[in-house]
Amino acid sequence: MTRLAAMISLGILMLLGGCAGWFDGPLSTLQPAGPAAHSAALLWWGMFLFATLVLIAVTALWIIALRRDPGEVSDADAQRQQNRWIWGGGLALPLGSITVLLAFGIPMGHSMLPLPAEDRVEIEVTGYQWGWRVEYPEQGIELQNEVVIPSETAVDIILRSEDVIHSFWVPRLAGKTDLIPGHTNTLRLVADEPGTYHGVCAEFCGVGHAHMQFTAEALSPDDYATWLSEQAAQQDEGETDD
């Protein structure tokens, strides 16, 4: 039974692999482009496969149970059945699955945290109804609805809100973190390679929520350094003009 289920699932997975294009998209967590998003996608496929197996197995068992003729069942037989199903399915199955899941999940979660890192870049993002103000405090640069980051570098986004709760999310790079009035949160972003990644506000924030989008532009570290100095120079010009 389980072998059949395994084959079916493998078949499904191969089919899915064949239409990988279905899972791509500018906001797709299944087309990861950063280590955190890679981990999450990997977790998803693993859990999906396992969950599918469990669902098929449980459903199959139920169908068998509905159809089979048990014959005469004595109380002792019923007791044996009880022990088998409850210890096996009710206790061993969930506890075993949870242990395996946590064994993978906890280290992965830990690696996503904004832990101390060399050459870490800090960028401040403030959410408001309905847009994002992006500041580079050292260089005095300010952008709207656009974050420029160096690729292959740990970037810490410092998140604050000016009004209501928002949530900063670039699905292809990492998970989301909320921007909460009065609080400061930090999200670690890493992009594997240069490119343009889309971001959205994930926490409902009112009438403009659906349009509260932004882009994360990852430049190679060299290009990023150039961009920073150009921007800083422009900003200085702007200031001397005043």
Partner 1 sequence: MTETTPVQPHEATEQTRSLHQTFSRVWANWPGLGSLAAVNHTTLGLRFMITGLIFFLIGGVLAMLARTQLALPEQNILTADVYNQVFTMHGTIMMFLFAIPVLEGLAIYLIPKMIGARDLVFPRITALGYYCYLFGGIIILSSLFLGVAPDSGWFMYTPLSSAEFSPGPGSDFWLLGITFVEISAMAAGIELTVSILRTRAPGMTLRRMPIFCWYILAMALMIVFGFPPLILASILLELERATGMPFFDPGGGGDPLLWQHLFWLFGHPEVYIIFLPAAGIVSTLIPVFSGRPLVGYRWVVLSIIVTGFISFGLWVHHMFTVGIPQLAQAFFSVASMLVAVPTAIQVFAWLATLWTGRVRFTLPMLWIFGFLVIFVCGGLTGVMLALVPFNWQVHDTHFVVAHMHYVLVGGMFFPLIAGLYYWLPHVTGRLPSERLGKWGFWLTFIGFNATFLLMHLTGLLGMPRRVYTYEAGLGWDWLNLLSSVGGFIMAAGVAMIVLDLLLHARLGRRAPANPWQADTLEWATATPPAPYNFASQPTVTSRHPLWDQSDVAQQMAAGEGHLGEVQQDQRDTLGTDAITARVAERCHLPGNTWLPMLSAAALAVVCIGLLIRIYPLALAGCLVAAVFLLRWSWLNGGHPLAAPLTDAELAGKDDDQSPPLESRTLDGPGRWGMIITLLANGTLYASLLFGWFYLWTASPQWSAPADSPLATLPLLATAILVTVLTLLYRDRVRHLQGGEDRHLAAALGSLTVLGAIATGAVLWVMVSAPLAATEQAHDAVLMVMLIYLFWHCGLATVLTGLQALRVRLGYVSAHLPYETRVLQPFWVYTCGVFWLSLAAFIGLPMAWGGG
Site for partner 1 in 180-219 (CB under 8 A): 180-183, 185-186, 198, 200-210
* Amino acid letter, residue 189: L
Site for partner 1 in 57-76 (CB under 8 A): 58-59, 61-62, 65-70, 73
**What's the burial of 4, exposed, middle or buried (CB within 10 Å: 0-12/13-18/19+)?**
exposed
| One-letter amino acid of 187 | L
Per-residue binding letters, 163-202, with Cu ion (x by CB under 5 A): ---x----------------------------------x-
Give the contact letters, 70-99, x = binds to Cu ion (CB under 5 A), - = no: ------------------------------
Cis peptide before 45 (omega within 30 of 0): no
**Residue for token digits 């699955």?**
97
List binders of partner 1 among 88-147 (CB under 8 A). 88-91, 93-95, 97-98, 101-102, 105-106, 108-110, 112-113, 129
Query: Quick one: what does residue 200 bind among Cu ion, partner 1, none, with the CB cut-off 5 to 8 Å set by partner type?
Result: partner 1
Residue of 167, 214, 217, 219 interacting with partner 1 (CB under 8 A): 167
CB of 198 to Cu ion, least distance (A): 15
Cα–Cα distance measured from residue 134 to residue 131, given in angstroms and rounded to the nearest whole number: 10
Q: Which helix (H) or strand (E) holds 141?
A: strand 141-144
When the beta carbons of 27 and 56 are compared against Cu ion, the nearer one is: 27
| Residues 129 and 164 sit within 8 Å (Cβ to Cβ) | yes
Q: How many residues bind partner 1 (CB under 8 A)?
A: 85
Out of 148, 149, 212, 216, the residue judged to bind Cu ion by CB under 5 A:
212
Window 112-151: contact mask with Cu ion (x via CB under 5 A): ----------------------------------------
Q: Which stretch binds partner 1 (CB under 8 A): 31-39, 118-126, 143-151, 224-232?
A: 31-39
- Two structure tokens written together for 66: 């509905």
H/E element, 69: none
Max distance between CA atoms of the chain, in angstroms, equals 95
Burial classification of residue 75, based on how many CB atoms lie within 10 Å of its CB (0-12 exposed, 13-18 middle, 19 or more buried): exposed
Q: Which of 197, 27, 38, 216 lies closest to 111, judged by CA?
A: 38
Position 178 contacts partner 1 (CB under 8 A): yes
